[in-house]
Amino acid sequence: GQQVMQIPQYQHVQEGEDFTTYCNSSTTLSNIQWYKQRPGGHPVFLIQLVKSGEVKKQKRLTFQFGEAKKNSSLHITATQTTDVGTYFCAGPGGSGGGNKLTFGTGTQLKVEL
Amino acid sequence: GAGVSQSPSNKVTEKGKDVELRCDPISGHTALYWYRQSLGQGLEFLIYFQGNSAPDKSGLPSDRFSAERTGGSVSTLTIQRTQQEDSAVYLCASSLSWGLGNTIYFGEGSWLTVV
Tens digit of each residue's pLDDT (9 = 90 or more) over A51-66? 999 999 999 999 999 9
pLDDT band at B100 (very low <50, low <70, confident <90, very high): low
> Which bin fits A60, alpha (ψ -120 to 50), beta or left (φ > 0)?
alpha
Residues of B in contact with A43 (CB under 8 A): 43, 91, 106
pLDDT above 90 for A76: yes
**Looking at residues B19-41, what average pLDDT do you find?**
93
- Rg of chain B on CA atoms, in Å: 13
| Contact in structure between B47 and B67 (CB atoms under 8 Å) | yes
Dihedral sign computed on CA atoms, order B16, B45, A61, B98: negative
**Looking at residues B29-53, what average pLDDT do you find?**
90
Q: Please give the Cα distance from B22 to B17 (Å, whole number).
A: 17
A31 contacts B104? CB cut-off 8 A? no
Q: How many Cα atoms occupy the beta-carbon half-sphere of A97 within 13 Å?
A: 6
Q: Please give the Cα distance from B82 to B38 (Å, whole number).
A: 15
Q: Please give the Cα distance from B103 to B68 (Å, whole number).
A: 22
Q: Identify the closest residue of chain B to A48 by CA–CA distance.
A: B101
For A87-101, what is each residue's pLDDT tens digit? 999 988 655 555 678
Q: Please give the Cα distance from B77 to B24 (Å, whole number).
A: 12
pLDDT of residue B93: 95
pLDDT above 90 for A85: yes
Q: Please give the Cα distance from A46 to A20 (Å, whole number).
A: 15
pLDDT of residue B50: 87
pLDDT of residue A100: 79
B106 contacts A44? CB cut-off 8 A? yes
pLDDT above 80 for A30: yes
Which H or E run includes A57?
A: strand A55-58
Count of CB atoms within 10 A of residue A17's CB? 14
